[in-house]
Every structure is written in C-alpha cells, then in structure tokens.
Amino acid sequence: MNLIIFGPQGVGKGTQAKLLAEHYGLKHISTGEAFRQSISENNEFGKKVEQYIKQGEFVPDELVNAIVAKELAENSQGWILDGYPRNLPQVEYLNKALEKFGQKINFVIVLSAPHQVLKERMLSRKEIENRSDDVEKIIERRLQLFSEKTKPVLDYYNKLKLVRVLNGVGSIEEVNKYIIHNIEDFLKNENMV
C-alpha cells in the first residue's frame, strides 16, 4: 500500500505518518526530515536547502524530486509520502517515477485544522524542537504558500477519487484512530483487503 499524507505545516502530518508507517509496515518518506538531516550534517545539499527554509519558501522541485526518486527506488514494498508532492510539476514527476518503478498511489489523506490552531502548534513546536523555521513571519508565509500552491494538487487527486479530508484536531491517538478507520473503510470499498 502506498499513501500520501497531505496538509499544511503544523497539522501533524509527520507524527501521523510515522504512526501509520509503523502500523502498516510502510516506509515513511519525509522530505522535511531529509532536509533537516542534511542541514544538521552541514553538507552541500543541506546548505542549499537551508537558504529556502529560513525564508519560509518551498525548496525547489529538483532538490525535492531527487530525494523522492531515491526513496521510491529503494522502497517497493509500500510507503507513505509526507510533505510531497506540493505542486503540479512534482505530481507529474511523481507519476513518471511511479510508472518507472511499477507503483501507484492507493490513498491520499488530507489533514485539516483551523489557521489559528496550526499557528499555535508551530509556535509551540519551536519551543520544544527549536526549529528555526517556526517563527511567526515564516509560519504565515508557509501557510499562505501551502494554500496557494497546493490547491491544484488536491484538485488533481480529488479527480482520481483518492482523497479523504480528515480533521487533524484532537489528541495524537484520536486522530490516528480516525485515520486508520478511514483507510480501512477506503480499502474495503476498493476491494483491496
């Protein structure tokens, strides 16, 4: 099974992706984690990526696509993509990569939460994780970019009838149970289980 988890920053995608990967035995492919790892290693890739993240901008497609292609090539037994694709060129790239590796997307989970909740979560996360990109000005920019750039991606996957929009507000456990229930329901209806 191959899943995409989608939603704005602060909605809990990373947390839920890790839990779902564990629950279903999937590889968690997180572009954000890969970026943070490269930045902490202070390698050439990390230095490039850091310039964009510090400004609240999306990392250029060619850098993101390189990470995803490598992970897809190494993981044919099922995965969950977290933070990708974020625009239509990335969707096109992903489609070609999936075709090349004989894979497909089974389900797109979209987590949603009110703007103020997202902002509060990210400001709180800054205190806990000390993330340089979780400051108010950058948070506002990232939320704006998400709604502007990713709507066409959601429209695309909606047309394919792969999307379930789910409430991302609640305890981690409540949201996780809700997501799993929806995945199981979707799989049952698709005769995939």
* Model confidence band, residue 178 (pLDDT cutoffs 50, 70, 90): very high
**Six-digit token string for 98:** 């999936």
- Average pLDDT score over residue span 147-156: 89
- pTM comes to 0.83
Look at 75-79, 86-90, 127-131, 159-163 and tell me which has the smallest mean pLDDT.
127-131
Q: How far apart are CA 4 and CA 1, in angstroms?
A: 10
Axis-axis angle for helices 136-159, 88-101 (nearest 10): 50
- In the chain, where do the E strands start and end? 2-6, 27-30, 79-82, 107-112, 163-167
Domain ranges of the chain: 2-187
pLDDT digit string, tens, across residues 44-100: 888 888 888 888 788 899 989 988 988 888 887 899 999 899 899 999 999 999 999
* Angle, CA 85 vertex, CA 83 and CA 87 arms, to 5°: 120
- What is the per-residue burial (b if ≥16 Cβ within 10 Å, else e) of 42-54? eeebbeebbeebe
Q: Which CATH superfamily, name and number, covers 2-187?
A: P-loop containing nucleotide triphosphate hydrolases (3.40.50.300)
